[in-house]
Amino acid sequence: MTANWKKLLIAGVVCALFIALPMVMELGTNILNLLVMLFIFIILSQSWNLIGGYTGQINLGLAAFFGCGVLVTHFLWKAEVPIYLAVLAGGVATVVLAVIIGLPTLRLRGVYFAIGTLALAEVLRIVMGNIFATWVKMPGSYVTTYSLLPRYYLGLVVALIAVSVVYFVTNSKLGLAMVAVRDDEQAAQVTGVNTFKYKVLALLISAFLAGLGGGVYAFYRLSFYSISLVFSPLWTFEPLMAVMIGGAGTLVGPVIGSFFLVILSEVFALTLGEAHLILFGVLFILVILYFPYGLVGSVDQVRQLMARASRGRLWKAR
């Protein structure tokens, strides 16, 4: 019990820090921009973590959910709907999209689900790129009243929501079912678990979070030169990288991975230029091949090794 209270305390302190920081310091636009992107990445990576890390379904169409959230939020907000409602609506609309995409694809065997979602995301990207072939703009009034702070706080709030949702879901019966599906779907089915239902639920919640993330992005960016860019597979791949590097199937992993990706990306970009992207790609490959549990998992493994070593020493002492 005390371990939980300790973790909660640390989480609380970190949150308080993030909430208070802009109020006490002048952070500057660079850092604020970076932090907003960090929050968006936390949201997206937790979204992928839910369906990919905990339920074991490799969703390669995350960009479709993200883009959907961006579009819906953008147009609702343009139509004078208050931003909080617009973002929420973006999330809901994405759930609808997930029902349309998810119901057929979730019946496919593992790897075909991945390819199916990739294909559907591409279809969406092509179609949206054709429908919205020009600028998707906000009226000037929005531009003149633009300020980063509201984006920061919206991002922070939604990121907290995302982490909390993942926490509550994975600690519930739904979470148990999801992990059962990931670890051995056949065994789960045989013991009477309706695996399809849980896969769908996981996907819907995941989609909701991704849609919220898209909403935050719409609020942040205002206008889009080429809307098909928000449906680009990069929006699937980079959160995926963050999750795997940080540790899939853990609560903290995606947060650490996002931090790694966004913050270190900035740092390396200054020194290495474009090549830093290649570095992250190589790191991702190394993680998949040799450190499947990511940073968080590796810490756990080290802890286990140390525990085993000390236990060994205890035995010898006797």
Partner 1 sequence: MENVIQAIVSGILVGALYALIAYGLGLIMGIMKFLNVAHGSFLILGGYVSYWIFTLWGIDPYLSVPLVIIATFLTGLILYKLTLSPLLKLPDIEMRVANSLLVTFGVIYVLDNAMALTWTPNSRSIMTSYTGEAIDIFGAHLSITGLCGLGIAILVAVALYFILSKTYFGKHVRAATQDAEAASLCGVNVQRTYLISCGIAVALAGVAGVIVVSSYSVTPTSGLSWLLIGIVVMVLAGEGNINAILPAGIILGLIESASIFVVGAPYRQAVALVIFIIVLMFRPQGLFTGREQKSI
> Per CB under 8 A, does 115 bind partner 1?
yes
Which helix or strand (DSSP H or E) is residue 204 part of?
helix 195-221
Report how far residue 267's alpha carbon sits from residue 254's, in angstroms, rounded to the nearest whole number.
19
Length of the chain in terms of residues written:
318
Q: Which of 25, 111, 314, 317 binds partner 1 (CB under 8 A)?
A: 111
Task: Indicate the residue among 289 and 317 with the shorter CB distance to partner 1.
Answer: 289
Q: Total number of residues binding partner 1 (CB under 8 A)?
A: 38
Q: Token match 């913050």: residue?
A: 263
237 interacts with partner 1 by CB under 8 A: yes
Instruction: Tell me if 264 contacts partner 1 by CB under 8 A.
Output: no
Site map (CB under 8 A) of partner 1, residues 197-236, x = contact = ------------------------------------x---
Instruction: State which of residues 16, 85, 143, 288 lies at the interface with partner 1 (CB under 8 A).
Output: 288
Chain position carrying tokens 């509550």: 168
269 contributes a contact to partner 1 by CB under 8 A = no
- Give the CA dihedral 57, 40, 63, 48, nearest 10 degrees: 0
Segment interacting with partner 1, rule: CB under 8 A, options 32-40, 102-110, 204-212, 256-264 = 102-110
Q: How many CA atoms lie within 13 A of 179 on its CB side?
A: 11
Q: Does 139 bind partner 1 (CB under 8 A)?
A: no
DSSP state of 136: B
Which among 23-31, 72-80, 157-165, 284-292 is the span making contact with partner 1, rule CB under 8 A?
284-292
- Between the CA of residue 110 and those of 79, 231, 239, 308, what are the distances in Å? 40, 23, 20, 36
The answer to whether 132 and 227 are in contact (CB under 8 A) is yes
> Interaction with partner 1 in 152-171: which residues (CB under 8 A)?
none
The answer to whether the beta carbons of residues 208 and 91 sit under 8 Å apart is yes
One of 43, 51, 95, 114 touching partner 1 (CB under 8 A): 114
- Least distance in angstroms from the C-beta of 308 to partner 1: 23
| Contact between 100 and partner 1 per CB under 8 A | no
- Residue 122 engages partner 1 in binding (rule: CB under 8 A): yes
Minimum CB separation of residue 173 from partner 1 in Å reads 26
Do 268 and 276 form a contact (C-beta atoms < 8 A)? yes
Q: Is 52 exposed, middle or buried (0-12, 13-18, 19+ CB in 10 A)?
A: buried
Q: Please give the residue ranges that form the binding site for partner 1 (CB under 8 A).
A: 58, 60, 104-105, 107-112, 114-116, 118-120, 122-123, 126-127, 130, 233, 237, 240-241, 244, 274-275, 277-278, 280-282, 284-285, 288-290
